[in-house]
């Protein structure tokens, strides 16, 4: 006797399977296979019946799989002019493949890549397809991670275009998928892509203005169509010496100009798959005109949302990296982070939020593994040498100076690294002392407000350098004589900022009390033990009398601070 699920009737398994089989064979519907609204319902019903079947499940799967496979191939091969979206239908069939792949001996890897390349590349801007795609990835993330671990890292650029087009509405779901995009091959390119999310929005909007709606047309196809012309132009230049004409003319800064599809920057931003290359397109001449046009024109809603989402995505990326990534990948990432500290979308709020997260990540990485400072000695010294290029690089140099001193240049065993970093700090100190004595107001027409701000920034930098020198010499005692010379020069200099002078004098005084100096200025990661040395980590169990008050020598009257010991000592 036939199972009720297989029996005849409008809601039966046979009925829905016949509908799907007819659709997969109908040549008239080949141009738009998803135009029948009942097709999706039939696929869902077949999946539900196979899931709930007990006795006749193997038979049902054996009959359904060939039909589903043929329908999937027809929908994937549908022309770009198709009116109805095939995305939701393909995702539903793909769920059938994942659920019953083992039973029907089907490897879903090819089907997963097909749906990204043939469907999502054309329909990433469709809000329904975008949401269903994220729902699909979230629901199947365990199976995808175990069976297809390279899938999401390979297609993360396509998912970034998805969130760039749909905005904050899908931010929560995208945040659940973001950690799945991180792998050894996508770790560095993903960081750069998250940094450039606002630029991706600008590029997508330029494509939209040049070619119409983003839905239904593959940007990758548009890009490839310009390749033969560019190749011929390069060959012509090589053999005849003629220059390649600029297709954008002299209107590169005009936001309404047509998109230069052969420009490497846009090709990298609009790619669908990860190529494993950390592109450095911020040196591209096109970037200046594009950014200038974006700044001078009113921001679209999508751009505003991307400027708010990108810092939050970076926070999630960094927290995942600090939790799951080994030191080798961190050592590869930190120089890239430092290189982008002053190169980002020129929006004040966005720049502030992103730089805060970049500096927090760098310092957290050094706190987790102080040895990274020794490994990255060359990139760190390069950034210290760029401290005066612009305010952003000055701020980065401040953080690096603090990290060098706080962690003793990587530890007490890193003598050679500590000496080299100490020499760079000395050089930075003497350069700033020389320029501070010369003064900034001697230049004609110099803005007094700008001079005041620059002198304040320079004094702040000198304070950080002086502190780093004192802390580095405290950790590595062989550097103490040179540190005393450096600090004495600061104390004798006629700098106009009293804070710098006072800090140098305080450190010189502390160095006369080695135990107290080690307690105050010693590295937090490797604290020594001995008479007079304070173990601050155990401060919560000590009485106030155990704190050496001779630190406050020559201090009379009420306390000169506004904090309590409860603020300083860790609580249990």
Q: What is the 3-state secondary structure (H, E, C) of 322-375?
A: HHHCCHHHHHHHHHHHHHCCCCCCCCHHHHHHHHHHHHHHHHHHHHHCCHHHHH
User: What would the mean pLDDT of 283-298 be, rounded to a whole number?
Assistant: 76
**Structural tokens at position 279:** 């592109």
Quick count: other Cβ atoms within 10 Å of Cβ 117? 17
Q: Answer whether residue 253 shows pLDDT above 80.
A: no
What pLDDT shows up at residue 358? 96
What pLDDT shows up at residue 2? 46
Q: 29 or 99, which is more confident? A: 99
Q: How many helices (H) and strands (E) does the chain have?
A: 29, 0
Q: 366 or 432, which is more confident? A: 366
**Taking all residues of the chain, what is their mean pLDDT, rounded to a whole number?**
80
Q: pLDDT tier at 400 (50, 70, 90 boundaries)?
A: very high
Sign of CA dihedral 145, 148, 149, 155: negative
Q: Answer whether residue 534 shows pLDDT above 60.
A: no
**Structural tokens at position 29:** 């519907």
User: What would the mean pLDDT of 318-329 be, rounded to a whole number?
Assistant: 94
Sign of CA dihedral 303, 305, 308, 310: negative
Q: Answer whether residue 414 shows pLDDT above 70.
A: yes
Q: 25 or 354, which is more confident? A: 354
The domain spans of the chain are 373-438+454-524
Q: Answer whether residue 482 shows pLDDT above 50.
A: yes
What pLDDT shows up at residue 446? 46
Q: Which long-range contacts (CB under 8 A, 24 or more apart) does 29-34 make?
A: 30/74, 30/78, 31/78, 31/79, 31/81, 31/82, 32/78, 32/82, 32/83, 32/84, 33/71, 33/74, 33/75, 33/78, 33/82, 33/86, 33/89, 34/75, 34/78, 34/82, 34/84, 34/85, 34/86, 34/89
Q: Answer whether residue 532 shows pLDDT above 80.
A: no
Q: Answer whether residue 510 shows pLDDT above 90.
A: no
Q: Answer whether residue 197 shows pLDDT above 70.
A: yes
Q: Alpha helices of 413-497 — where are they, by DSSP H? A: 415-438, 448-475, 480-492
What pLDDT shows up at residue 216? 58
Q: pLDDT tier at 432 (50, 70, 90 boundaries)?
A: confident
Q: Answer whether residue 310 shows pLDDT above 90.
A: yes
Q: 298 or 221, which is more confident? A: 298
Residue with tokens 């359904």: 64
What are the respective helix, strand and coil percentages of the chain, to the nearest 5?
Answer: 70, 0, 30
Q: pLDDT tier at 326 (50, 70, 90 boundaries)?
A: very high
What pLDDT shows up at residue 203? 87
Q: Answer whether residue 145 shows pLDDT above 90.
A: yes
What pLDDT shows up at residue 246? 47
**Structural tokens at position 477:** 């005692």
DSSP 478-490: GGHHHHHHHHHHH
Q: How far apart are CA 377 and CA 397, in angstroms?
A: 13
Q: pLDDT tier at 469 (50, 70, 90 boundaries)?
A: very high
Q: pLDDT tier at 435 (50, 70, 90 boundaries)?
A: confident
Q: pLDDT tier at 314 (50, 70, 90 boundaries)?
A: very high
What pLDDT shows up at residue 514? 82
Q: Which residue, among 346, 354, 267, has the nearest Cα to 303 in the 3D structure?
A: 346
User: Residue 245, class by beta-carbon neighbours within 10 Å (0-12 exposed, 13-18 middle, 19+ buried)?
Assistant: exposed
Q: How far apart are CA 397 and CA 375, in angstroms?
A: 17
Q: Answer whether residue 444 shows pLDDT above 50.
A: no
What pLDDT shows up at residue 364? 95
Lowest mean pLDDT among 147-161, 197-211, 305-319: 197-211
Q: Answer whether residue 131 shows pLDDT above 90.
A: yes
141 contacts 174 by C-beta, under 8 angstroms: no
Q: pLDDT tier at 442 (50, 70, 90 boundaries)?
A: very low
User: What would the mean pLDDT of 7-31 be, rounded to a whole number?
Assistant: 73
What pLDDT shows up at residue 160? 96
Q: Answer whether residue 261 shows pLDDT above 90.
A: no
Contacts of residue 172, Cβ cutoff 8 Å, sequence gap at least 6? none
Highest mean pLDDT among 7-16, 49-58, 422-431, 554-563: 422-431
What pLDDT shows up at residue 247? 43
80 contacts 217 by C-beta, under 8 angstroms: yes
Q: pLDDT tier at 112 (50, 70, 90 boundaries)?
A: very high
Q: pLDDT tier at 352 (50, 70, 90 boundaries)?
A: very high
Highest mean pLDDT among 358-362, 404-408, 449-453: 358-362
Q: 250 or 220, which is more confident? A: 220
Q: Answer whether residue 121 shows pLDDT above 70.
A: yes
Q: Answer whether residue 405 shows pLDDT above 80.
A: yes
What pLDDT shows up at residue 433? 84
User: What would the mean pLDDT of 484-497 be, rounded to a whole number?
Assistant: 84
**Structural tokens at position 533:** 């040395």
What pLDDT shows up at residue 217? 58
Q: 402 or 38, which is more confident? A: 402
Q: 85 or 310, which is more confident? A: 310
Task: State whether residue 436 is helix, strand or coil.
Answer: helix
Which percentage of the chain shows pLDDT scores above 90?
42
């Amino acid at each position: 006797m036939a199972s009720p699920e297989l029996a005849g009737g409008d809601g039966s398994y046979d009925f829905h399977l016949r509908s799907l089989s007819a659709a997969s064979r109908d040549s008239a519907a080949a141009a738009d296979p998803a135009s029948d609204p009942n097709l999706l319902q039939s696929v869902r019903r077949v999946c539900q019946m196979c899931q709930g079947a007990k006795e006749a499940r193997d038979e049902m799967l054996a009959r359904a799989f060939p039909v589903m496979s043929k329908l999937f191939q027809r929908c994937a091969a549908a022309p770009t002019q198709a009116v109805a979206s095939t995305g939701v239908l393909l995702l539903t069939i793909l769920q059938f493949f994942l659920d019953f792949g083992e039973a029907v001996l089907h490897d879903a890897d090819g089907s997963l890549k097909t749906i990204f390349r043939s469907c999502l590349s054309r329909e990433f801007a469709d809000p329904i397809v975008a949401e269903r795609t994220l729902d699909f990835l979230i629901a199947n993330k365990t199976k995808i991670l175990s069976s297809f671990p390279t899938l999401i890292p390979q297609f993360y650029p396509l998912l970034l275009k998805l969130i760039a087009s749909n905005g904050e509405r899908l931010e929560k779901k995208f945040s659940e998928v973001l950690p799945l995009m991180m792998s050894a091959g996508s770790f560095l390119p993903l960081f750069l892509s998250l940094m450039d999310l606002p630029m991706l929005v600008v590029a997508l909007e330029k494509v939209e203005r040049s070619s119409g709606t983003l839905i239904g047309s593959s940007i990758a196809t548009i890009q490839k169509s310009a390749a033969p012309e560019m190749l011929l132009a390069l060959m012509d230049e090589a053999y005849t010496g003629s220059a390649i004409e600029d297709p954008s003319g002299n209107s590169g800064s005009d936001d309404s100009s047509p998109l230069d599809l052969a420009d490497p920057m846009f090709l990298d931003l609009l790619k669908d798959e990860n190529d494993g290359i950390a592109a450095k397109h911020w040196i591209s001449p096109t970037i200046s005109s594009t950014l200038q046009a974006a700044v001078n024109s009113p921001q679209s809603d999508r751009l505003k949302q991307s400027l708010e989402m990108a810092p939050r995505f970076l926070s999630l990326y960094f927290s995942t990296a600090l939790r799951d990534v080994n030191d080798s990948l961190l050592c590869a990432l930190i120089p890239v982070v430092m290189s982008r500290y002053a190169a980002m979308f020129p929006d004040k709020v966005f720049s502030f939020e992103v730089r805060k997260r970049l500096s927090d990540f760098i310092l957290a990485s050094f706190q987790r593994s102080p040895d990274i400072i020794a490994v990255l000695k060359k990139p760190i010294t390069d950034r210290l040498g760029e401290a005066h290029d612009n305010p952003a690089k000055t701020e980065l140099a401040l953080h690096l100076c603090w990290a060098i001193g706080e962690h003793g240049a990587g530890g007490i065993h890193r003598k050679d690294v500590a000496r080299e970093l100490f020499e760079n700090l000395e050089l930075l100190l003497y350069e700033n002392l020389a320029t501070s004595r010369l003064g900034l107001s001697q230049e004609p027409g110099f803005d007094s407000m700008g001079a005041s701000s620059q002198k304040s920034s320079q004094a702040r930098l000198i304070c950080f350098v002086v502190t780093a020198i004192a802390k580095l010499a405290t950790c590595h005692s062989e550097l103490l004589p040179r540190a005393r010379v450096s600090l004495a020069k600061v104390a004798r200099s006629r700098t106009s900022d009293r804070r710098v002078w006072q800090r140098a004098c305080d450190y010189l005084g502390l160095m006369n009390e080695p135990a107290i100096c080690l307690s105050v200025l010693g590295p937090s990661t490797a604290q020594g033990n001995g008479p007079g040395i304070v173990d601050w980590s155990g401060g919560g169990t000590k009485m106030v009398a155990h704190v050496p008050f001779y630190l406050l020598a020559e201090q009379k009257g009420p306390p000169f601070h506004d904090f309590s010991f409860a603020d300083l000592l860790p609580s249990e």
